[in-house]
Amino acid sequence: MSGKRGNGEGSIYPYKNSFAAYVWVTTPDGKKKRKYVYGKTRDEVHDKWIKLHADAKKGPVATRHRTLSAFLSYWLESIVKPNLAPLSYVSYEGCVRLYIAPHLGTKRLDKLTVRDVREWLTKLTTTCQCCAQGKDAKRAPSRRRCCAAGECCEAYASRRVIQAARDALRAALTHAVAEEAIGKNVAALVKVPKPRRRRIKPWSAVEAGQFLADGVTREDPLLAAWVLVLCLGLRRGEVLGLTWKSIDFEAGELYVDHQIQRAGRQILHRETKTEESDDFLPLPALCLKALRMRRAQQTGDRKAAGDLWQDSHGLVFTTKYGTPIEPGNLTRMFALRARRAGLRVIPLRNTRHTCSSLLVALGVHPKVAQRILRHSQIAMTMEVYAEASEEEVRSALGKLSEAMGGTS
């Protein structure tokens, strides 16, 4: 044997009081380039050299690596923004800008380790975000009251924020693995404690009836929205995104296919998140009555606004000038009206369970209720029916129907 290495095997040689070696590799763009490794001893470099040979045989090897910050910028603009929902981009961008880039942004993408990620998440739990983001310092000098005034408010990141930041980094590194920029997703190997959700008791059908009856008495312009939320279990965005074209009064049904969504500084009228969310839903008589009342109210608003009226996609629920309702404002108005009706305040999203009780009281057939509630099994619907068949429930809805001027 001659002892000579074959073409492409590279070599080990002294380099600045240490050693270096290289191997010819194929880069992700298909070009042949040298890839170097370094070490203090020849044996250390030899081990790295052997490993590099093995990596080169498996597939493409990158010879230049970006910092994590540079890769995240590319990922947000080229992958997330064009392909995911606007709200997803806003969420990921916020996590990158506020929590990931300030701590890990300068690290090389290929050098990021599980330990780096774990230490970063641990540091987040003990870092005051008011200090880190300069929230108090951004206020006028006369309005500074905590961190900038020398008294740290200890505004630490919550479990939910930490989980969101880890999930954003994991999503980015998943794409880096797919592009063969790195070999493994180190963020996926780090577990974080799941945030515990506080369980809130939903309204009973009696409480929901009291809430809607109060709205009828006060001629609430959003009464139809509350009826759809409570009787059909529609989500906040779905209710606000509903258009008159989606409602068929003759057939007694509506089609859910759009939503109103706040994304950064924009309010968007866009399709629902998934195709499974789109569906034709039958309208009980109570819902039809409320929607007819809403149509009359909006006609009055349009006449009163005159030239100031803005017809936004023919939305059912708008401001008095025809513009879309801010999703956050709907949540606040729901809480305000609950207090006004003398009821305990629950989150708007917690009304779905109440919806099932109301469907029982309205005498909706179980199969129809299953479709409205989007239950995968009829057994789930029947369990709800078994729980909510009290006479007081029917009595409460009867009073509500009378208040609305009908017997249905």
- Report the side by side order of strands in the sheet with 253-256: 247-248, 253-256, 279-282
pLDDT at 395: 56
More confident residue, 392 or 278: 278
The whole-number pLDDT of residue 224 equals 92
Question: Which amino acid, residue 289?
Answer: K
Give the per-residue pLDDT at 358.
67
Tokens coding 288: 């039809």
Q: How far apart are CA 59 and CA 56, in angstroms?
A: 6
- CB environment 271-308: b (16+ within 10 A), e (fewer): ebbeeeeeeebbbbebbbbbbebbeebbeebbeeeeee
* Distance from C-alpha of 156 to C-alpha of 100, rounded to nearest angstrom: 15
Give residue 8's pLDDT band: very low, low, confident or very high (50, 70, 90): very low
pLDDT digits (tens, 9 = 90+) for 254-311: 888 887 778 777 777 777 766 555 677 778 788 898 999 999 999 999 999 888 988 7
pLDDT at 285: 84
DSSP, collapsed to helix, strand or coil, labels residue 268 as strand
DSSP state of 32: E
**209: which 2 tokens?**
């009836």
* pLDDT 10s digits, 349-379: 888 777 776 666 666 677 777 766 666 677 7
pLDDT score at 6: 44
pLDDT score recorded for residue 408: 43
What pLDDT is recorded for position 98? Answer: 92
Q: Are 351 and 229 in contact (CB under 8 A)?
A: yes
Residues 238 and 243: their CA atoms lie apart, in Å, by 10
pLDDT higher than threshold 80 for residue 249: yes
Closest CA to 162 of 122, 130, 103: 122
Residue 401: per-residue pLDDT:
56
CB 294 within 8 A of CB 273: no
Q: Looking at the predicted structure, is the pLDDT value of residue 394 above 60? A: no
pLDDT exceeding 90 applies to what percent of the chain? 25
Say whether pLDDT at 391 is over 60.
no
Inform me whether the pLDDT recorded for 40 exceeds 90.
no
Q: How far is CA 209 from the centre of its chain?
A: 31
Q: What is the mean pLDDT of the chain?
A: 82
* pLDDT value at residue 122: 93
Selected residue with higher pLDDT from 2 and 38: 38
- Which residue shows structure tokens 């129907």? 401
Average confidence (pLDDT) over 319-331: 89
pLDDT reading at 313 higher than 90: no
137 vs 100, which has greater pLDDT? 100
Q: 268 to each of 80, 96, 226, 265, 323, how far by Cα in Å?
A: 17, 23, 21, 10, 12
